[in-house]
Amino acid sequence: MGTPNAVGDWSSEMEVSAFRRLFPLRYYERHLSESIRPDARPLKRARDTIVSLGAVASSDGSALAKIGSTTMLAAIKMEVMTPSVDSPDEGSVAVEFHMPPICSPVVRPGRPAEVAPVTSKQLFDCLLSSGMIDLKELSLIKGKAAWMAYLDIYCLDADGALFDAALLSAVAAFSHLRIPVVSLNDEGRMVMVSKELEGEKLDKEPVDKERRKLSLKSIPFSLTCILHKNYILADPTFEEESIMETFITVVLNSSGQLVSLYKSGGPVLAHTSAIQECVALTRQRMKELEEIIDEAISTMEID
């Protein structure tokens, strides 16, 4: 008795799936007209987000961030360098964003993803212009030694809103960062003190007595929104980005100040009202992300 209905349901699902593949924009617009998305999210809601600190034991600071299926692994390695002549009392930060072939079918082996260097530059500019990191805190001996923080971010699953997830993982990794203890050797060079010797009496007094955190201020958070006709979709998936090509990424710091605004190409003009709404959505999202980061830090401290 139930077989005809089962066959009918299966046939209907096949028709919907075929329509989605053949006419993806029409498929989405049918959902948008009812203020819902195919994944059942309201238009202006971000996907579930998870942050886990200490994902890479061999690093000085690391984090895993997931926004929906989009997954980023960020790790920081600290190295001693000679500061520049122009900034003798400051350290430096280097950012590298990686997209290995495992993250997406569109990334081919042997061919670097075109978006990777662009995202690296955007992340670098965002982290420094936000004022989150005081580079003077990375100084060891003025004019002679300072820290270089090498931040590597690996995209493990590229399902849309890559910059948002990459920035979140970077912020989380810096929240987890513990700067190593260093000491002068007999040749007058800075050397790192191994974890086993930390707290022990050394031949030479360490420059840093113990591992320390950075004082992070004005932490940046971002939200990417798609503009399509009169609709605004927050936190798009890869499928949504590939179908509706106009999107805006707004970056605000924890004080609510605008850090940057990126608009990728596309047929839709970004009117003032649309930008203002995207900024308002980013402010709401920022509060959510701050709570997620704080919870991850609290969990790490308890463990």
Residue owning tokens 């299926």? 69
**Using an 8 Å Cβ cutoff, are 213 and 248 in contact?**
no
pTM, two decimal places: 0.88
What is the C-alpha to C-alpha distance for residues 261 and 272, in angstroms, rounded to an integer? Answer: 13
pLDDT at 197 exceeding the cut of 50:
no
pLDDT, tens digit, for every residue of 140-194?
889 988 999 999 999 999 999 999 999 999 999 999 999 988 876 655 566 666 5
**Using an 8 Å Cβ cutoff, are 51 and 67 in contact?**
no
Max mean pLDDT range (13-22, 61-70, 137-146)? 61-70
Give Cα 274 to chain centroid, integer Å.
Answer: 24
Of residues 127 and 197, the one with the higher pLDDT is: 127
Q: What is the dihedral of CA 275, 277, 281, 284, to 10 degrees?
A: 120
Give the pLDDT band (50/70/90) at residue 60. Answer: very high
The H-or-E segment that residue 288 falls in is helix 272-302
Give the pLDDT band (50/70/90) at residue 12. Answer: confident
Q: Which domains does the chain have, with CATH numbers?
A: 39-177+214-302 (3.30.230.70)
**Using an 8 Å Cβ cutoff, are 38 and 243 in contact?**
no
